Chain A
C-alpha cells in the first residue's frame, strides 16, 4: 500500500538519522520546557514563600530572576533548535531529497 518513493525514503539511512535526531532534540527540549514551567507553577502553588525570599540584601526576590530566567530560557531553547535544525537537519533533508531522485 505504501508507494515506492515513500518506501525508498523510509529505507534511506539519512532519513532514519534525521528522524532520530529531530525526535530526540524536539522531545528533549519539550520535556525541559514542561519540567521548568510546571516546576515553577508547583512552586507557586505549594511554596510561594520560597519565591518571595529576597536575594541577599536586596529587595529583588528569588521569583524574579527565576521568572525572567524562564522567559530567557524559552528564547534560548528555540534558538538552539533553529541552530541545530539549520546545521544538521537541513543537510540531511537535502541528502534525502537527492537520494530520492
Chain B
C-alpha cells in the first residue's frame, strides 16, 4: 500500500515541473557546468520575446487588449497558445521521464491530460465565449449576484494560480540550476522578473505570442527528437519497443500498466481531477476570450487538442527512445546506473544523444522558455481575478474605468510576481509536488462545478453556487493537507488522516451537492429573479446574440 502511495505521489508530482524537480533533486542537486549553447539560445528567445512585449505594449491601452488581446487572436493562434499553456515542462520532461522509468504508465497520464479537452469542446467553449468577456466569473455572475460570485471565483482562481505558480517557480529554479548551471536564487529571480515584464507591459497580447512561439519551438524540438529515434529503428515502432524491453531493467513490465493499478479509488479520483480540472483552470478558460466569437473558440479547442495529442505521442516515443539510447550509455549514468540529474533529465539527455550539444542547448532553452510562458499565463489570470473580479466588480461595483482597471491589473501583476519570487525561494527545499495536483483538484472542485451549473442548470442560485463552490474549495484543500503528500511527507506524521492523494472523488461531488441543496432550498425573491434571467442567458449562450465582439472599441 505504501508503495502505491509513493508511486501515486510521484505520479501526481509529475503534473508539475516542480514534481520532476522535486523528484530529480531530492538528493544532491549538482550544478552543471555552464552550457554556452543553451544560454545563447535562451538569450535569443528572451530577446525575441522582449521585442514582442515592446510591440504589444504599444497596443495595450484598454482592458480589452490587456485581458483579451483585443479579441483578435485567431482560432489557430489560440489553439497553439492553449497548447503552449498545457505543454508545460512537466508534460515534456515529466511524462517522458515516467515513460523512461515505467513505460506504459506514462501514456496513462498523457491520456488523462488530454481527455479534458473534448469535454471543454462539447460543453463549455462556445457557451463560455458567448457569455463571458474576460474571466469565467463573468459567466457565472451573468445572472447571479455579482459580489459573492466574484469573490468565490477570485478565491478559486487565486488558490489555483498560487499553488500552480509555486510549483512552477520551484521547478523552474531547480531545472535551471540543472540545465544551465545557474544558482537557484538567480534562476527564480530571472523567471519572476521576465514574467513580470511580459505581463505588466504586454498583457494578454504579449503572453499569447510568448506561448505561441514557445509551443512551436517545443513541437519542433520534440518532433526532431522523436524522428531521430524512429530513424534508428527504420520507423519500425515495434522494433523500438522490442529493444527497449530487452535493455530496460524492468523488461516486459514496461509494456503494461504498473503500480498505478491496485487502488481503483485513487485511479478514478485522479482521472476526475485531470479531466474536469482542465475545464476549471482559470488561465486556460481565460484564453477563450481572446478570440472573436464562439466559432473561433471551438476551432481553438480542435487545434489545441490536435497539437497536445500529437505532442503526447511524441513524448511516448521520446521516453522509449531514452530507454534505448540514454539508459544504455554510461556517459549519462551515475555510479548506481541511474540517470545523471534524475529521471526527469531523460529527454534532455536524449537530446544530446540524438543531436549533440546544439540539440541539447536548444531543448534546454525550450524547457526554460516553457516555464516562462506558463508562469506568465498564470500570473495574468491571477492579476485579472484581482483587477476585474475583485477591484472593478466588487469594490467599484462596475464603476471603474478602463484606465483604472488596467492600472490595478498591472499593480496586481507586479505584486503577484514578487509573491511568486518570494514563495519560490521560501519553498526551495520543500516538497511541492502535491501543489499542482492540488491546483487541479481545486479547479475541478470549485471552479468547474459552479461554471458548468451556471450554464446548464436554471435552478442554480447565488446562495447555492457560493456555498457549493466554497465547500468544494475548502474540502479539496483540507483533504490534501490531511492526505499523504502533506500530512505525512511535509508534517512528518506516520499515518495520513485521509488516505488518498487526490481528493477530487470526494470534493467534486460535495461541491455539486452543495450547489444543488442550497439552491433548491433558496426561496428568496433574488433566487426567483435569477431563475427568470436564465432564459435570456440560455438564448445568448446558444446564439451569441449580445455577446462581446472581437472588435476593439
Contact = CB atoms under 8 A, between A and B. Distances in A.
Contacts of A96: 543, 545
B295 interface: yes
Chain B interface size, under 10 / 10 to 19 / 20 to 34 / 35 or more:
35 or more
Nearest to B534: A2
A36 B271 CA distance: 12
Interface in A59-74: 59-61, 63-64, 67-68, 70-72, 74
B111 A37 contact: yes
A2 B143 CA distance: 13
A23 to B, nearest CB: 9
A68 B313 contact: yes
A75 B114 CA distance: 9
A88 interface: no
A3 to B, nearest CB: 6
B265 to A, nearest CB: 9
Contacts of B118: 29-30, 33, 74, 77-78
Given A2-B535, A18-B543, A78 B268 contact: no
Contact of B256 (A9, A61, A71, A72): A61
B300 to A, nearest CB: 10
Contacts of B532: 1-2
Contacts of B123: 26, 30
A9 B542 CA distance: 11
B111 A45 contact: no
Best-surrounded residue of A29, A44, A54, A60 (most CB of chain B within 10 A): A44
Contacts of A3: 536
Contact of B295 (A53, A67, A85, A97): A85
Contact of A82 (B108, B245, B261, B299): B299
A30 B110 CA distance: 19
Interface in B255-285: 255-257, 260-264, 267-268, 271, 275
Interface residues of A, number: 57
Contacts, number: 162
Contacts of B117: 74, 78
A37 B275 contact: yes
Interface in A1-44: 1-3, 5-6, 9-10, 15, 18-19, 22, 25-27, 29-30, 33, 36-38, 40-42, 44
Contacts of B255: 52, 54, 59-61, 63-64
A36 B10 CA distance: 26
A18 B252 CA distance: 51
Interface string B343-381: 000000000000000000000000000000000000000
B302 interface: yes
A29 B122 contact: yes
A33 B298 contact: no
Contact of B257 (A25, A63, A68, A85): A63
A15 B126 CA distance: 16
B238 A59 contact: yes
B313 A51 contact: no
A33 B122 contact: yes
A2 B426 CA distance: 54
B295 A86 contact: yes
B107 interface: yes
A71 B110 contact: yes
B197 interface: no
Contacts of B529: 1
Best-surrounded residue of B110, B122, B264, B267 (most CB of chain A within 10 A): B122
Contacts of A82: 121, 298-299, 301-302
A49 B305 contact: no
Contacts of A48: 256-257, 261
A41 B536 contact: no
A2 B543 CA distance: 17
B539 interface: yes
Contacts of A58: 238, 241-242
A71 B242 CA distance: 23
A51 B241 CA distance: 15
A75 B122 contact: no
Contacts of A51: 104, 256-257
B306 interface: yes
A45 B264 contact: yes
B545 A75 contact: no
Q: Name the 9 nearest CB pairs between A and B, nearest first.
A: A52-B256, A48-B257, A1-B532, A45-B264, A61-B255, A59-B242, A26-B122, A59-B241, A67-B107
Interface of A: 1-3, 5-6, 9-10, 15, 18-19, 22, 25-27, 29-30, 33, 36-38, 40-42, 44-46, 48-49, 51-54, 58-61, 63-64, 67-68, 70-72, 74-75, 77-79, 81-82, 85-86, 90, 93, 96-97, 100
10 contacts: A33-B119, A51-B257, A63-B104, A67-B108, A74-B118, A81-B302, A82-B121, A82-B299, A86-B295, A100-B545
Given A37-B271, A97-B545, 17 more contacts: A1-B532, A6-B539, A15-B543, A41-B267, A41-B271, A44-B257, A46-B264, A52-B104, A52-B256, A52-B257, A59-B245, A60-B255, A63-B104, A63-B257, A81-B302, A82-B121, A82-B302
